[in-house]
Amino acid sequence: MELDAGTLGDIESLIEKCKYERDPDRQLKILLVINAMLPHTKKLHIPSYLTDDYITRALYEIEKALKSNY
């Protein structure tokens, strides 16, 4: 399943928003929205205990996958 340009743009916009969000709860909510928008095969397995480092790494992995054209 490929993402259309609109969905891809939405995900990229949310990634940027998440990177600069200071509130961890809001950051997690944004990450969950991003994850919900990803194709089933690319969804993250989000652990029950999250750290700031995990969110940063998850965003990096999503960006890397988007740039590699899925």
For 35-62, what is each residue's pLDDT tens digit?
999 988 888 888 888 888 999 999 999 9
- Mean pLDDT of the region 20-34: 94
Confidence of residue 69 (pLDDT cuts 50, 70, 90): low
Length of the chain: 70
Q: How confident is the model at residue 5, as a pLDDT?
A: 59
Interval 18-28 mean pLDDT: 94
Cβ pair 18, 30 in contact under 8 A: yes
pLDDT at residue 62 in the model: 92
- Per residue, the 3-state secondary structure of 6-58, as one string, reads HHHHHHHHHHHHHHHCCCHHHHHHHHHHHHHHCCHHHCCCCCCCCCHHHHHHH
Q: pTM of the full predicted structure?
A: 0.83
